[in-house]
Structure 1
Amino acid sequence: MVIPGKDAAATVGSTLQSVAAQGLTRDELEVIVINDGSTDDMSAVVREYTSSLSIDLVEHAEARGVSAARNEGIRRANGRYITFLDSDDWYGKGHLRNLVDTISRLEVDWVKADYVVANGQVRRIVQAPCALRNTPLDPRDYINPINTSSMVDFPNVWSGIYRTDLRDRGLLFFDESLRTSEDRLMTWGLHLGTTSFAVATSHNMFYRKGSSTSLTGVFDERQLDFIRAFRLMFDLVEREGVYEEFGVKVARSFLGILHYQRANRFDSMDHGVRDRLKRESVALLEHIPARITAAALVGFGDKRIRVLKPVLHQAGVSL
């Protein structure tokens, strides 16, 4: 288990307590915690759990980012499987055992599971967009369709468990140039590079919404890394020879996130970030063949297209 964290002293204790309560022995579970340049007492809190968990604590003098932290944990991992948990999230009873039992019983490359968003005292279940449960599936069959959410749009790596031998094929590592959206690029790599996965039903993975350590709540230039991530996704589908099959899905996903940024976050960004968002989005749209963008916009909806119109117009997209 790889747990990256920065300034997470207030939450990492409950995270590790939930891991210790999973019922796996020290021989069964190795916990690798990466303290990524914290200025608080995160490491001291982690050390309180070394008697109940087999913990390898790695300390970075300076923050290197979540991708680099996870990659360090991946390189150090010794187990047959790897899973991820953020330092402000936690497990309910039996979650980890369920993941391990599912991936070992089905002998698939990776498994994803549902999770619960915890916003204060409010709980909301987020189900993986796949009706077939606890059965081996082909990852490429769950990329399309373009007009509805599919498993490739379910990128949260901490809701899954993965065979460690995928590491040797370069499929588990994160692009360290990405401060956000790194999980989306990694998820596309899994869907194109592996041969089997499964979805487990579990409502015992808890994602803490609104945490002060989460990058999902920031409005600075780090959020713009999604644009670079999608450029890398286009490169990936082209390199894999499936641009015509999956390029529209990549474009549709990009337009969906771009719409969300402009409709919900734009007013909270400073002028420099807004300008970069528009400039870099236009550059990516100019990079996408017109037929791909046109297909991605079919059924997109007039309301969403109106929000994107300034960017689409500047990129020369015909509406």
Structure 2
Amino acid sequence: MDTRVSVIVPIYKVEKYLKRCLDTIVNQSYPYLEIILVDDGSPDNCGSIAEEYVKADNRIIVIHQKNGGLSDARNTGMLHVTGEYILFVDSDDWLENNMIEQMLNTSIKLKADVVQSAFYYAYDDHLLFDQRYFKKGNPPSILNNIELMTELVANERVKNFAWGKLYKTKLIRDIPFKKGVLFEDVFWAHHVMHRVKKYAIINQPLYYYFQRSDSIVSTYTPKNLDIIEGLKERQYFIEKNHKELTFQSYKVLLNTIFIHYNLLLLNRKKDEGGSYRKELQTYVKKNYNNFKKAVESDKPLKKQLFLFSIHPYINIIFLILAKILRRLRIVSKPMGLEKINLSINGRQKHEHTKSGG
């Protein structure tokens, strides 16, 4: 089998992590790769590191361009693809050495348009694996289009992330990423998945999604609100093309609005006069009836919507009290993720942890 897989790696200010990422790509068990490195005007040594890899491996090409953001870098990469399949890899992440081989074999065997692997949330000293939705010993799961779109909207088993999925090139070549936005995958994923007839999920974690230590609270800016604009665009698309998912989509949108309202409140200096918060509050009021229908069967979110409609601060007080009660174990926490500690000798120690609180 000599099917070519094109791997697109956008690169920007990841000097510390780039070699780890690239080593796991060039050492893949599947050799027929086209590795496209897009140096997006990185101000550090990333460009020269990429050039070193080009000299050592004739499967690699590097494109240097002015900084245009992640979307622009991925779009540039897609213009140079010659493979039948595309895999996006973020340059601070890394892969299991048989990831591409497993994904390609699964695609061919199951005739799947897109193959997704489970993944680890990777920290400096431990990994987290979401065992609620993935079972390591299980065979691949297969979704039809309706099931896939349902999972995509829920954003649990099928994430909006572009990475960690093997796409048939013909499926995505004419769907560019939206430039100039954060959370570009949210603007992109539903257009792709809408076309998919068969989607396969490998339950074994083959991708390491690196979690940097920066706190979202400390690095938050109003630009993060792009995710809400992306979900609004998706809401319109869902209502037009997948009406049965309309209220599930509204539910996800509402929950995201609540999260970002609270983050804006924590970063009040970046929202002087509260204009962004007022905009979110106005949107909830304008769409209140749809949101109300969407959360009818979700008691916690239903309560939050009611309290938020009276005043957002009342909802925040409710959330703080709920968190205190969880810490006091008066209210139970939901089951969460499996934690895998990484020791110095590379052995993994497994333990079960809980989310929330």
Aligned residue identity for 2:19: G
Select 2:176's aligned residue among 141, 156, 173: 173
Do structure 1's residue 2 and structure 2's residue 8 form an aligned pair? yes
Give, in angstroms, the shift of residue 238 of structure 1: 3.2
Q: Which amino acid aligns with 2:64?
A: E
Normalised by the length of structure 1, the TM-score is 0.83
Q: Does 1:156 align with 2:141?
A: no
The partner residue of 2:60 within 50, 55, 61 is 55
In the alignment, residue 195 of structure 2 is paired with which amino acid?
A: G
Q: Cα offset for 1:256?
A: 2.0
1:234 is the counterpart of 2:235: yes
Contact 1:33–1:58 at 8 Å: present in 2 too? yes
Helix, strand or coil at the partner of 2:97: coil
Amino acid at match of 1:210: R
- Distance across 1 between alignment mates of 2:84 and 2:193: 20
Superposed CA deviations along residues 227-275 of structure 1, whole A, max 9, x for unmatched, are: 21012112212332x33x1111211111222233344674145342783
Report the residue type matching 1:297 in the other structure.
V
Distance of 1:231 and 1:283 partners within structure 2? 14
- Pairing 1:152-231 to 2, within 5 Å after superposition: 152=158, 154-168=159-173, 170=174, 172-180=175-183, 182-210=184-212, 218-231=219-232
Higher CA-based Rg: 2
Q: Post-superposition shift, 1:130?
A: 6.6
Aligned with 2:205: secondary structure?
coil
State whether residues 117 and 206 of structure 1, in contact with CA within 8 Å, keep that contact through their aligned partners in structure 2.
yes
Residue from 99, 105, 113 that aligns with 1:101: 105
Bigger mean CA deviation after superposition, 106-115 or 186-195: 186-195
SS at match of 2:60: strand
Identity of aligned residues (%): 18
Structure 2: which 5+ residue stretches go unaligned?
Answer: 1-6, 313-357
Change (3 A) 1:226 1:312: farther
Give the whole-Å Cα distance in 1 for the aligned partners of 2:152 and 2:206: 29
CA contact (8 A) 1:84 1:160 kept: yes
Shift of 1:211: 5.8
Count residues in correspondence. 303
Asked if structure 2 preserves the Cα contact closer than 8 Å seen for 1:5 and 1:87, the reply is: yes
Contact 2:141 2:201 in 1 (8 A): yes
Distance, in Å, in 2 between the alignment partners of 1:77 and 1:161 is 14
Deviation readout 1:207-231 (Å, 9 max, x if unpaired): 110166x989730122110121012
Specify whether residues 178 and 150 from structure 1 end up closer, same or farther in structure 2 by C-alpha distance, changes over 3 A only.
same
TM-score calculated relative to the size of structure 2? 0.75
Name the SS for the 2:36 alignment partner: strand
Whole-angstrom distance in 2 between the partners of 1:15 and 1:274? 43
The question of whether the paired residues in 1 share the 8 Å contact of 2:217 and 2:263 is answered with no
- Does 1:64 find its partner at 2:64? no
Deviations 1:17-48 (A, max 9, x none): 111121232xx111111111211010111122
Counterparts of 2:132 and 2:165, CA distance in 1: 11
Displacement of 1:149? 5.5
Q: Determine the C-alpha separation between the residues in 1 that align with 2:154 and 2:238.
A: 19
1:18 corresponds to: 24
- The structure with more strand, counted as a fraction of residues: 2
| Aligned residues of 1:114 and 1:202 also touching (Cα < 8 A) | yes
Cα distance between partner residues in 2 of 1:56 and 1:38: 16
The aligned counterpart of 2:116 is 112
Q: Is the 8 A contact 2:118 2:204 kept in 1?
A: yes
For residue 270 of structure 1, give the secondary structure of its aligned residue in structure 2.
helix
Structure 1, unaligned runs of 5 or more: 315-319
Q: 1:295 corresponds to which residue?
A: 293
- Counterpart in the other structure of 1:317: none
CA drift at 1:99: 1.2
- Aligned partners of 2:168, 2:142: CA distance in 1, in Å? 14
Alpha-carbon distance between aligned partners in 2 of 1:311 and 1:69, rounded to the nearest angstrom = 41
Equivalent pair of 1:74/1:167 in contact (CA under 8 Å):
no
Deviates more, 1:81-90 or 1:290-299: 290-299
